[in-house]
Amino acid sequence: MTASESVPRPSPSSRQDDFVLEVTDLRTYFDTDDGVLPAVDGVTFSIKRGQTLALVGESGCGKSVTSHSLLRLIQRPGRIVGGKILLHSARAGEIDIAQLKENSRQLFQVRGGLISMIFQEPMTALSPVHTIGDQVTEAIFLHQKVSVAEARRLAIEMLGKVGLSAPEQRFSQYPHEISGGMRQRVVIAMALVCRPELLIADEPTTALDVTIQAQILSLIKTLQREIGCSVLLITHDLGVVAQTADEVAVMYLGRIVEHGPVRELLKNPRHPYTQGLLQSIPALNRGTRLASIPGMVPALTAIPPGCPFHPRCPHAQTGRCDHGGAPPLRPIAPGRDVACLRAEEIAGVAGEVASASGK
Amino acid sequence: MRSDSTSHSPPPPATAAAAPPLLSVRGLCRHFPIHGRGFGRKVIGTVRAVDDVSFDLHAGETLGLVGESGSGKTTTARCIMRAITPTSGEVIFHPRDGTAVDLARLPEPALKPLRPRMQMIFQDPFSSLNPRMTVGEIVGEPLVIHGLAKGDELDARVDDILRKVGLKPEHRTSYPHAFSGGQRQRIGIARALIMRPSLIVADEAVSALDVSVQAQVLNLLKDLQAEFQLTYLFVAHNLDVVRHFCDRVAVMYAGRIVELAPTARMFERPLHPYTKALLAAVPWPDPEVKMKFDVPGEIADPSRLPPGCAFHPRCKECYAPCLRHRPELRDATGDGRFAACHRHDPAHASGVEN
């Protein structure tokens, strides 16, 4: 909490190498009757100030557990067993969230104050027995010393910003009186009213229709620019990623298997899992049959040795990919990291596959 | 499956095509009354969930029924299956043997012999399978209910269909909880197919699946369609999946079909402003194809539909007739593309073309 306190808040133009969050070797395990499940197993990533990092993957890959770990929302039988979660806050200095004590004042300051979260289901994130106004002002009172009148003014201003018509009237309405899209707007107002430095959006539009999804994604982008916060977007929808993220990290079985700038990663995926994922999408696949990844995701109790993806991988080599530890995430090009032993060898092959499916 | 062709309705109106469509839906409506509070629970309004829907479904084709929540696509599918009784309208079913029946008016006992011909695949593979039944019991149950097989023959047919959907005969004795989402969906498909239906209504059949599993299930549905000459009514909200999977697409908005066209042509050049807005709002997984974020407003409330065209408050191409007259679905281009929009209606051709 010393070094970065003296550092002035950087201007948006010079954000190169300026990170709001650096996660190093995060491990979150769950103790179950079937053994210890490594839901998140050595995840390392960082988020640039003002930018959007998308964490993508299929069900059970650990993307939501990662995001919950960042706010220390993991409950027993889950626990963070290792790693660093360094928040470089412009307001509060440097904080290692993984080391904070449960119920400490600093943890409460982080939750909702420095880092906010919006969830998939707006109805479960809102209390049905409190008015919209109560819920937004509660977020203000938790983090700011303001009068009731001032909190009301701030809340109404925020409700207007997220696009609710007649925010003064909405203030005293209950969540059930408004539509799903409007509810998600209220959740966003609650999350952003304290001007967090990082917003975690966990599948924020998955429950919404496509035209409403477009409105909400555009709203998050606009407010992100206005408040200047970074966004960690958790999603399974590569379309949403392509349209909103700056960088992407792809997760498989609790690990990041590929990371890079959105355009390069989607145009030229280097990990066989990312390649398979992209080829499964009908939009990128103009044949009558979809290419799909053979087999299915193994259980966390039975993670294969060597590269966890090798039993499903078309490029796996016996004697090389199927023993030892999981391959580490390593840089292969500026800004590009891949956890694949054969990334260089299969680059040509992958290019052919990508161009063939693009036709 | 021979004795089930009794017809309880007059023959359907003659259609132009030589072979009648497998299914002709005409003027289908399903209205739900809204009851007030207090004594008598007087009816104070009506939700027009499905309002005057007409379309044909030809044997062997896949028709996509798309729309957002509350557009009436699922209610339409359920009315066709007679899971819900329609308020009015006709659902003429022409099975392979040439007789025609109006499913909308048949009494329940007369429906039962027709049920094997039309089966449904559901969205959620977790809630649609009974956790207390084995896979063999779930898949074989339709045969037992209709008294079509028992004993060794039943087992043989279950094994056969399990293989067809990519499962193993050994799975017969397992319970659903032992399977992943994709495998459960295969179980649901096996149960639908064991009756050798001609019509399959798939209600968001792949929406709950991860993208790589979704690809496997879509491929399976394509293979089965070719093998068993299946006709699909594919209810979905994912336009990317619909573009890949369907021959024709019907877009629903506020209980009505607003556009119906062959898939490729609709995606190349949509006619109805709502279809345009819908396609523009899809986030394509290509950073170079920019999505549009500016579709204003919310989906119309089917209990308080605006007068005229239900889409007019959100429509960028709205002009005077849209506020007064409800547009009918009509052939807009003469090449099988139907749109319910005054901009594409010859009677109002004074407006701007396209």
Residue of higher predicted confidence among B254 and B13? B254
Lowest mean pLDDT among A15-19, A201-205, A341-345: A15-19
Please name which of B43, B40, B39, B22 lies closest in space to residue B31, comparing C-alpha atoms: B43
| Residue B197 CB coordination number (10 Å) | 20
DSSP string across A129-161: TS-HHHHHHHHHHHH----HHHHHHHHHHHHHH
Distance CA B232, CA B202 (A): 7
Name the band, by pLDDT with cuts 50, 70 and 90, for residue A337. Answer: very high
Mark yes or no for CB contact B211/A213 under 8 Å: no
State the pLDDT at residue A356. 41
Confidence category of residue B3, pLDDT binned at 50, 70, 90: very low
Two structure tokens written together for A112: 């909702």
Q: What angle is formed at CA B16 by the lines to CA B13 and CA B20, rounded to 5 degrees? A: 70
Alpha-helical regions (H) of chain B: 73-80, 108-111, 135-145, 151-164, 181-193, 211-228, 239-245, 263-268, 273-280, 320-324
Contact across the interface for A239 and B218, Cβ inside 8 Å: no
State whether B283 and A213 contact (CB < 8 Å): yes
Longest dimension (CA), chain B: 70
Chain segment B303-329, per-residue pLDDT in tens: 888 999 999 999 989 999 999 999 999
Q: Name the residue in chain B with its Cα closest to that of A212.
A: B298
Name chain A contacts of B214, Cβ cutoff 8 Å. Answer: 280
- Give B66-77 pLDDT, tens digit per residue: 998 889 999 999
Contact A327, A245 (CB under 8 A): no
Going from N- to C-terminal start, the domains of chain B cover 1-95+199-205+236-354
What residue of A is the nearest CA neighbor of B286? A242
Q: Which residue has the tokens 């103009």?
A: A286
Alpha helices in chain A (DSSP H): 3-6, 63-70, 105-110, 122-125, 132-143, 148-161, 167-171, 180-192, 210-227, 238-244, 262-267, 272-279, 347-358
Kindly identify which residue of chain B lies nearest to residue A268, measuring between CA atoms. Answer: B286
Task: Give the residue among B73, B24, B117, B14 at the shortest CA–CA distance from B249.
Answer: B73
Which residues from B are below 8 Å from A210, CB to CB?
Answer: 68, 237, 239, 278, 281-282
Please give the pLDDT value at position B76.
96
**B279, B295 Cβ separation under 8 angstroms:** no
CB atoms closer than 10 angstroms to residue A195: 17
Task: Give the residue carrying structure tokens 């003014």.
Answer: A153
- CA A16, chain centre distance (Å): 21
Read off the pLDDT of residues B261-285 as tens digits, 9 standing for 90 and up: 999 999 999 999 999 999 999 998 8
d(CA A311, CA A318): 10
- Name the residue in chain A with its Cα closest to that of B295: A211
% of residues, chain A, pLDDT over 90: 73
Residues of A with Cβ-Cβ distance to B241 under 8 angstroms:
282
Average pLDDT of the residues of chain A:
89
Nearest to B284 among A236, A283, A291 (CB): A283
8 Å CB contact of A210 and B182: no
Token pair, residue B60, equals 């062997």
pLDDT at A2 over 50: no
* Contact check, Cβ <8 Å, B286/A284: yes
Task: Give the residue with greater pLDDT, A31 vs A287.
Answer: A31
Is residue B202 within 8 Å of B32, Cβ to Cβ? no
Element (H, E) at A42: strand A35-48
Instruction: Find the radius of gyration of the CA atoms of chain B.
Output: 21
| d(C-alpha A63, C-alpha A230), whole Å | 17
Q: Please tell me what DSSP assigns to residue A335.
A: T
The pLDDT tens digits for A160-208 are 999 888 899 999 999 999 888 889 999 999 999 999 999 999 999 988 8
Kindly state the average pLDDT of the residues A327-335: 94
Query: How many Å apart are CA B181 and CA B214, to the nearest integer?
Result: 10
Task: Report how far residue A195's alpha carbon sits from residue A65's, in angstroms, rounded to the nearest whole number.
Answer: 24
Residues of chain B found within 8 Å of residue A278, distances taken between Cβ atoms: 285
Per-residue pLDDT for B100 more than 60? yes
The CATH class, in words, for B1-95+199-205+236-354 is alpha beta
Rounded-to-integer distance, Cα B291 and Cα A291, Å = 25
Nearest CB to A292: which of B181, B216, B293? B216
Band (pLDDT 50/70/90 cuts) for residue B1 is: very low
Q: Strands B23-35 and B43-57: what pairing?
A: antiparallel
**What is the C-alpha separation between B285 and B291, in angstroms, rounded?**
10
Name the packing angle between helices B273-280 and A210-227 (round to 10°): 50
User: pLDDT tens-digit profile of A91-110?
Assistant: 899 999 999 998 899 999 99
Q: Shortest CB distance from B293 goes to which of A218, A236, A293?
A: A218
Which residue in A58, A211, A237 is closest to B277 by CB distance?
A211
Contacts of A284 in chain B (CB under 8 A): 285-286
Q: How far apart are CA B12 and CA B100, in angstroms?
A: 7
3-state secondary structure of B278: helix
Q: Which of A58, A214, A285 sits opposite B295 (nearest CB)?
A: A214
- B183: chain A residues, CB-CB within 8 Å: 296
Residue B11: pLDDT band with limits 50, 70, 90: very low
Residue A188 phi, psi (nearest 5): -65, -40
DSSP state letter for A120:
S
Q: What's the pLDDT score for residue A250?
A: 97
pLDDT at A125 over 70: yes
Q: How far is A289 from chain B (nearest CA, A)?
A: 6
Decide if pLDDT at A66 tops 90.
yes
pLDDT greater at residue B38 or residue B117: B117
Cα(A60)–Cα(A342) distance, integer angstroms: 25
Euclidean distance between CA atoms B52 and A312, whole angstroms: 49
**Chain B residue numbers touching A285 (CB-CB < 8 A):** 215, 244
Q: How sure is the predictor about A229, in pLDDT bands with cuts at 50, 70 and 90? A: very high
Residues of B within 8 A of A252 (CB-CB) are none
For A329, other C-beta atoms within 10 Å of its C-beta total 21
CA-nearest residue to B67 within chain A is A209
List pLDDT tens digits, range B146-200. 999 889 999 999 999 999 999 999 999 999 998 888 899 999 999 999 999 999 9
- Residue A295 is predicted with a pLDDT of 86
Inform me whether the pLDDT recorded for B348 exceeds 80: no
CA distance A282 to chain B (A): 6
Min Cα separation A265/chain B (Å): 10
Question: How far from each other are the two terminal CA atoms of chain B, in whole angstroms?
Answer: 50
Q: How far is CA B335 from the centre of its chain?
A: 23
Q: Are A260 and A49 in contact (CB under 8 A)?
A: no
In this structure, the strands spanning A198-202 and A230-235 are parallel
Please determine, for residue B110, whether its predicted confidence score (pLDDT) is greater than 80: yes
Q: Which residues of B touch A281 (CB under 8 A)?
A: 211, 215, 240, 285
Compare all CA atoms of chain A with the CA of B298 and give the residue at the minimum distance: A212
B272's tokens: 């109805």
Could you tell me where the DSSP H helices lie in B21-92? 73-80
CB contact under 8 A, A180 and B291: no
C-alpha of A141 from chain center: 27
Q: Is residue A9 predicted with pLDDT exceeding 60?
A: no
pLDDT digits (tens, 9 = 90+) for B195-226: 999 999 999 999 888 898 899 999 999 999 99
What is the per-residue pLDDT for B271?
A: 94
Residue B347: predicted pLDDT: 66
Roughly how many angstroms between the first and final C-alpha of chain A, as a whole number? 53
Task: For residue A140, give the amino acid letter.
Answer: I
Is it true that the peptide bond before B197 is cis, omega within 30 degrees of 0?
A: no
- pLDDT beyond 50 at A353: no
CA within 13 Å, CB half, B160: 11
Cross-chain Cβ contact A282/B244 below 8 Å = yes
A204-223: per-residue pLDDT in tens?
A: 998 888 888 999 999 999 99
- Cβ–Cβ < 8 Å for A282, B241: yes
pLDDT of the residue at A259: 97
Answer whether B223's CB lies under 8 Å from B244's CB.
no
Residue of B nearest to A288 (CA): B244
The verdict on a CB contact (< 8 Å) between B215 and A283 is no
Helix, strand, coil percent content, chain A, rounded in steps of 5: 40, 25, 40
